[in-house]
């Protein structure tokens, strides 16, 4: 789709890594002219492919921020509107936003450029490979997973991203005290998330009652969320903290 170096690769990990059960489905839907222009112009500066072939130097990647600035990983950002709003509200925090949706990648870069947001970087590919191969230990101040695919059919539950093995993997790059923030409007998935996070020794619930959290003010209400609320869905937030080993 894009000449080398001017946009996200179709399969950045290629044959470097074993295929596994994926929690996402790559979508190569139509890219608008504005999104394509943003990708061509900004990808070399603000984008990266998750190829699993190198460990990222996060202070260098977010070179406009102080070397000790907190970096948060967001997995699955849709069209990027909420991500851009969070970046604008907290310019001192770097957001490494990971997704496989090309139009969304282009849209987030476009929004960042239009709003002068220099604290956003866009990662293209499998977040599991990013966590496993490319992030240094204790390098992240937070992890955000908002409205992941609920995979509602029982035979597909193994594809849900919030699983014990995923939390094992995320524990390495998450620094002690890092905040893990998940949100979903699918009640059975919310209950599973709560159970899995509660049972994992690397994380503790920030809520004294051990339950769900109120939506923090810093998480914007998204269009997707508004649609779910309009259909009578209940949105659940989970806020857990990485504990010291």
Catalytic residue among 149, 168, 209, 245: 149
Residue 149 annotated to the active site: yes
The residue among 45, 94, 74 whose CA lies nearest residue 182 is 74
Nearest to 183 by CA among 89, 61, 77, 103: 77
What's the token pair of residue 51?
């190829």
Six-digit token string for 217: 């003010």
Order of all β-strands in the sheet with 120-124: 47-49, 120-124, 94-99, 71-75, 140-146, 174-184, 236-242, 203-205
Neighbouring residues of 151: CB distance < 8 A, sequence distance ≥ 6:
23, 157, 159, 160
Q: Which two tokens stand for residue 233?
A: 């869905």
Give 213's DSSP letter. B
- What is the Cα gyration radius of the chain? 17
**C-alpha pair distances (Å), 60 with each of 55, 135, 211, 222, 245:** 12, 13, 38, 31, 27
CA distances for 4 relative to 12, 68, 98, angstroms: 11, 32, 20
Residue 201 near residue 163 (C-beta atoms within 8 A): no
Active site residues: 149
């Amino acid at each position: 789709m894009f000449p080398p170096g001017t946009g996200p690769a179709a399969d950045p990990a290629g044959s470097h890594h074993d295929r596994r059960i994926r929690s996402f489905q790559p979508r190569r839907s139509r890219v608008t002219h504005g999104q394509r222009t943003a990708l061509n112009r900004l990808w070399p500066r603000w984008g990266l492919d998750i190829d699993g072939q190198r460990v990222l130097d996060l202070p260098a990647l977010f070179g406009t921020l102080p070397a000790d600035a907190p970096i948060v990983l967001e997995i699955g950002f849709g069209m990027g509107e909420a991500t851009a709003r969070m970046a604008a509200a907290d310019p001192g925090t770097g957001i490494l936003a990971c997704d496989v949706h090309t139009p969304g990648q282009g849209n987030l870069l476009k929004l960042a450029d239009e709003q002068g947001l220099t604290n956003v970087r866009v990662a293209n590919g499998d977040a599991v490979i990013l966590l496993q191969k490319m992030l240094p230990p204790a390098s992240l101040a937070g992890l955000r997973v908002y409205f992941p695919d609920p995979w509602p059919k029982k035979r597909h539950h193994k594809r849900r991203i919030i699983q014990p093995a995923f939390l094992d993997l995320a524990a390495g790059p998450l620094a002690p005290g890092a905040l893990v923030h998940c949100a979903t409007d699918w009640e059975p998935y919310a209950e599973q998330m709560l159970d899995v996070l509660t049972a994992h020794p690397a994380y503790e619930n920030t809520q004294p009652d051990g339950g769900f959290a109120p939506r923090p003010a810093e998480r914007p209400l998204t269009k997707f969320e508004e649609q779910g609320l309009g259909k009578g869905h209940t949105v659940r937030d989970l806020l857990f903290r990485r504990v010291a080993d």
